[in-house]
Chain A
Amino acid sequence: MSKRNLIFLSLILALTLLVGCAGGGEQPPQDTPQEDGQKAASDLKVGIVLSSGGKGDKSFNDSSLRGLDRAKEEGLIAEYKYIEPKEVAAAEKGLRFLAQQGYDLVIGVGFMQKDAVDTVSKEFADTKFAIIDDVVDNPNVASLTFKEHEGSFLAGALAALLTTHEEIEGINAEEVVGFLGGMDSPLIHKFELGYTSGVDYINETEGTDVKVKINYTGSDPSAFNDPAKGKEIALAQYNAGADIIYHASGGTGIGLFEAAAQTGNYAIGVDSDQDWNQPGYILTSVLKKVDNAVFATVKAVKEGNFEAGLKEYGLEEKGVALTPLTEAGVTVKAAQEAGDITAEDVAKIEGLKAKIPAEIKDKIEDIKSKIIAGEIEVPNYLEQAQ
């Protein structure tokens, strides 16, 4: 290979790397902590390092920031700073920067920051840390995780109750519902087990015999980004008699929603409010309420009862929830105000929710309170596996 060729190739590679890195965030973390709000009564300082996607991801990051906004509104904190790291390595610098600046509570969003939070929390033993969606076992770190299985249980109960209501358009005679998983992995089995347990519970209490079709997209991470295969799987499940499919498959789920709109059947979204994705075909979404977890943690620090260690947010702590079964959720309404979706779409979303019989809504509420009261125990795959 001649010298000229080598230079040419290295230029291409360098360009590739540049473009590849530019995706995550906009500025380097060191010089861009952004201030929000003014000095108020409280002098508690909270800093947060967001995960990939940054502010405006309509998901975890925005939800975390909503929690901090609420804390500010309620006077718990005067200000907070957020950092958008452009890569995982930059997250560690961001955490360290915030700790050095004397922030009382430093939050890392997402399991990708597990190692970074671990390292930095050891360096700053006097600072309080929180990690979202993973566990860091240090004496000054609160690990905020979510009981996805409880939310999935409600989704399973809803699907099993609804699939026997043939009078609703799009619901067939067969008592079959579906589950679409992304990568075949323990975390996704947690969703699956919660969902099938919800279906089983309805079968027991209502005397029905609802079956669950289960598919996993693949066994490597690309299974979370394969909407074309997701659509084929959904079509196959709908064809085999399923009329409601719940997914825990990341971007693959977009294919499910398209299949639902194509066949006129229904889907249930996951993690964030996905009801607006194909308005009128998505019954509800199983939410992870990161905002509530963040708010509760800030409140605990403010009130002086911050506890390190694992803190699981379930239905009781409002850490997981379904989007409302009676109206469009807050995210949808905010999107409408921002002009991202039309009033017509919101009407479709609410029209579908109006089709769900009131007795089913009551039963879901009832099941929810039973789970909170401990009368129903939802199995956790991750604990069973250990």
Chain B
Amino acid sequence: MEIFQQIFNLETFSSTLRMAIPLMVAAIGGMFSERSGVVNIALEGMMLAGAFIAVVVSYFTGSAWLGLLGAVFFGGVFALIHALVSIRYHADQVVSGVALNLLAAGGTVFLLNILFNTSGTSPSVTALPYWGPFKPTVYLGLLIVLISHYILFFTPFGLRVRAVGEHPHAADSVGIDVEKIRYVCVILSGMLAGFAGAHLSIGVLSVFREGMTAGRGFIALAALIFGKWYPFGAMGASLLFGFFQAIEIRLQGIEAIGIPAEFIQMIPYILTVIALAGVIGRATPPAASGEPFEKGKR
């Protein structure tokens, strides 16, 4: 019973929420991109870039809110590269994503050296203030899920996004500007990933550290798949993954239970594989996801 209390207490649940938010918001970003037909494995890099810009803007302006805005804005700019490469130039979306991840990993360290003359860690900056028990990014993150659900399923824009991702030529034939919708969605995904990065660097922490996203962009992709490309699905999956992380931290060192921490760390990936394999209801990606759209080509 005592062990039970050590593992499941109020702190466990607030920890869950703090760790789920970056996954959730980045997964929603990935959802917009993939729903419109553009695979985005650059979420990791966009998050890292967002985390970095948030710290830089907060450092030079002294305002964490401007840092958050900067991260969202620059996340969008960074995603524009992916949009140009994969929409305008019809390039392989996975290759472009990998390139962006590398660019973010190297570029942030490079700029860290130039701006702060340090290697690895930025100076401490002003972080976002607490709103009650949490940072604002937690509430805003949950709000983003609600708004995204509304946009995707209850607005004409959402309908177009889904149409473009499922069958771009059909959408094109009824006068929808496929490329424009895709541009908007990819940029939106970068903005949301930037927000997720800012949550890490100036929400949870108040510094930037090289590689600080530590694979969260990829876990966000897993959450997106496990959530079957639905906003609430992605939210549920993120909360579940965040919960496993919180539990794993608390289970370590309690020998009575004897589950290796590595096993619990694996769970998100195992669940994703199971979801992809169709064991708990098949996870079907948008039909045109990953395919460049070329007008007039069948």
Contact = CB atoms under 8 A, between A and B. Distances in A.
Interface string B103-137: 10111011001000111110000000000000000
Given A8-B91, A215-B253, A232-B249, A19 B106 contact: yes
Contact of B91 (A5, A23, A240): A5
Interface residues of A, number: 47
Contacts of A219: 262, 265
A213 B262 CA distance: 17
A258 B99 CA distance: 33
A231 interface: yes
B262 A8 contact: no
B214 A23 contact: no
A228 B204 contact: yes
A21 B102 CA distance: 11
A15 interface: yes
A57 B119 contact: yes
Interface stretch (A48-56, A133-141, A153-161): A48-56
A213 B265 contact: no
Contact of B90 (A1, A22, A53, A56): A1
Interface string B1-33: 000001001010001001100100000000000
Interface in B252-271: 252-253, 261-262, 265
Given A232-B15, A239-B11, A226 B212 contact: yes
Nearest to A222: B214
Nearest to B209: A251
B89 interface: yes
Given A9-B91, A13-B99, A19-B107, A258 B206 contact: yes
Contact of B261 (A23, A216, A232, A235): A216
Nearest to B199: A228
Contacts of A233: 249
Contacts of A227: 205, 207, 209, 212
Given A8-B85, A216-B252, A240 B6 contact: yes
B207 A232 contact: no
Q: DSSP class of A's interface residues: helix, strand, loop or mixed?
A: helix
A251 B78 CA distance: 25
A232 B212 contact: no
Contacts of A39: none
Contacts of A335: none
Interface string B249-292: 11011000000011001000000000000000000000000000
A2 interface: yes
Interface in A1-35: 1-2, 4-5, 8-9, 12-13, 15-17, 19-23
B99 to A, nearest CB: 5
Interface string B183-210: 0000000000000000010001111011
A214 interface: yes
B205 A213 contact: no
Contact of B250 (A57, A236, A254): A236
Contacts of B262: 184, 219
A254 B121 contact: yes
B245 interface: yes
B91 A1 contact: yes
Which of B22, B207, B262 lies at the interface centre, i.e. has the most chain A CB atoms within 10 A of its CB?
Answer: B207
A128 to B, nearest CB: 29
A311 interface: no
B120 A236 contact: no
A2 B206 CA distance: 45
A180 B249 CA distance: 11
A246 to B, nearest CB: 14
Contacts of B90: 1-2, 5
Contacts of A215: 249, 252-253
A254 B207 contact: yes
A178 to B, nearest CB: 9
A20 B100 CA distance: 12
8 contacts: A9-B95, A19-B103, A216-B252, A219-B262, A229-B245, A232-B245, A235-B11, A251-B212
Interface of A: 1-2, 4-5, 8-9, 12-13, 15-17, 19-23, 52-54, 56-58, 184, 213-216, 218-219, 222-223, 225-229, 231-233, 235-236, 239-240, 251, 254-255, 258
Can you list the 10 inter-chain pairs with the closest CB atoms, starting with the nearest? A20-B106, A226-B214, A225-B211, A222-B214, A53-B119, A23-B109, A19-B106, A251-B209, A16-B103, A16-B102
Given A1-B92, A215-B249, A223-B214, 18 more contacts: A2-B90, A8-B89, A9-B85, A9-B92, A9-B95, A9-B99, A16-B99, A19-B110, A20-B105, A22-B110, A23-B113, A218-B265, A225-B209, A228-B204, A229-B214, A235-B11, A240-B250, A251-B212
